Copies of this chain bind each other. A is one copy, B any other.
Amino acid sequence: MQIGFDLGGTKMLAAVIDADGEIVARNKNQTEGTDNDTVYENIVETIDGALKKADISRKDIEVIGIAVPGPIDAENGVVLHTPNVALHNFPLAPRLSADIGCRVFLENDVNAGLWGEFIAGAGQGFRDVIGIFPGTGIGGGIVLDGRLYRGKGGRAGEIGHITVQSDGRRCGCGNHGCLETVASKTAIARDLALLAMNGQSPVLAEAGATDISLIKSGLIKKALDAGDPGVAEVVEQAARFLGIGMAAMVNIFDPELILLGGGLVEKLGARFAQPAETEMRVRAMPHLVEGVTVTEARLGTDAVIVGAADLARQR
């Protein structure tokens, strides 16, 4: 048996996965704890809860794969820092390995999610796949020749930080005009907050969405569904920018598949993915884009746990 673990900013999920890659039990908890030790306790409890639900014990587990939402030292199993979870320079893998008694590996959550889709979801049957996940930021992952590509330090795939507007807005990373600044949920929220302010979106105004931190993908969908003026335009503009980034990926990688996932795509579906694909096909080199498939992720958060477990199993 394996454990796939999704360490999210608000929730953490442990799943017991059998030798066929099937999820046999899940256990979800709020992500709580304000320092390394309390978060760690929270993680162990969540794993033990999953074992209990599967009616197995710690000794039945061969390997644990943990998807981490932030930079890691994969080799030593250390979580460097996670913006939304209170872990800092914490040797999560060796600690868990000692306590649970099995091998434990960490993986970037975007890579885990792409890998899950690649082996069990929308990416099955392809060999060269670029995953793009627009949410608060824009995550990216790269599968080439059927293998996850990590780069020299395991941090490849920062597709959200390619420059699409050389004189654009400053990005959180320090660069200007990153794809993230124009095509993420945050970029959409920034423009929608103005609509809320200007009385152009009753749905957003009612939700108090002049505060951009309140604008989640679900609320964007609700405002879009309600037909609030301007909302569709803002969403489509962000999608078209995403298409510019997708076209760059096509021109660089000559890939078989562009896989779109993340909160925005899950909630808005084709209303976001379709204008993005259209722009990609206009922008990319014709002989390269011809054979490219664009598809939406289909496993949701299961992709992350399945992928994390499988990548751990492979090591």
B-binding residues in A (CB < 8 A): 71, 127-128, 140, 142, 144, 149-159, 161-166, 173-176, 182, 241, 244, 247-248, 251-256, 282-288, 291
Contacts and interface: CB of A to CB of B under 8 A. Distances in A.
Contacts of A244: 163, 166
Contact of A163 (B142, B247, B253): B247
B155 A128 contact: no
18 contacts: A150-B254, A151-B253, A151-B255, A152-B291, A153-B288, A158-B254, A158-B285, A161-B284, A161-B285, A162-B251, A162-B252, A164-B164, A165-B165, A165-B166, A166-B244, A175-B282, A175-B284, A252-B252
A227 B161 CA distance: 36
A283 B163 contact: yes
B155 A149 contact: no
A5 to B, nearest CB: 24
Contacts of A174: 282, 285-286
Instruction: Report whether over half of chain A's contact residues are helix, strand or loop; otherwise say mixed.
Output: loop
Contact of A287 (B71, B157, B253): B71
Contacts of A157: 252, 254
Given A158-B251, A175-B247, A287 B153 contact: yes
The 8 lowest CB-CB distance pairs between A and B, nearest first, are A151-B254, A156-B254, A162-B248, A158-B251, A161-B251, A175-B283, A163-B244, A155-B254
B251 A159 contact: yes
Given A163-B283, A252-B156, A128 B151 contact: yes
Given A151-B255, A157-B252, 20 more contacts: A128-B152, A142-B252, A149-B253, A151-B254, A152-B256, A153-B287, A153-B291, A155-B254, A156-B253, A158-B285, A161-B248, A162-B252, A163-B247, A163-B248, A163-B283, A164-B164, A166-B182, A166-B241, A175-B247, A175-B285
